[in-house]
Amino acid sequence: MLFHVRMDVLLPVDMPQDVANDIKAREKAYFQQLQREGKWRHIWRVVGEYSNFSIFDVAGNTELHDLLSSLPLFPYMRIAVTPLCRHPSSLHEDDR
């Protein structure tokens, strides 16, 4: 199943920089692992915000929830999820 996910990161302003850098490094490693596995298909930065729009390709709601809640930044995120399905007029066969 495909999901459109908006993630807004809200780090505490008083978080020590070394702690923030460690969380961000772990987040990047996990994110890149999910990309290599084909589960995190696309990511786009929202201009001027610490936010992104992403497309996930996972088995269903439970897998998406497990992936998102395992993100190191998860405790500092506001997340909105929209399930997607293939549009019948799409020319792209991989739009499942």
- List of residues 6+ apart from 41 with CB closer than 8 A: 2, 35, 54, 55, 56, 57
pLDDT of 14 reads 98
pLDDT in tens, 32-43: 999 999 999 999
Q: What is the CATH number of domain 2-84?
A: 3.30.70.1060
Element (H, E) at 69: helix 61-69
**What are 57-85's pLDDT values in tens digits?**
999 999 999 999 999 999 999 999 999 98
Full-model pTM = 0.90
CA dihedral (61, 77, 81, 62) in degrees, to 10, reads 0
Domain residue spans of the chain: 2-84
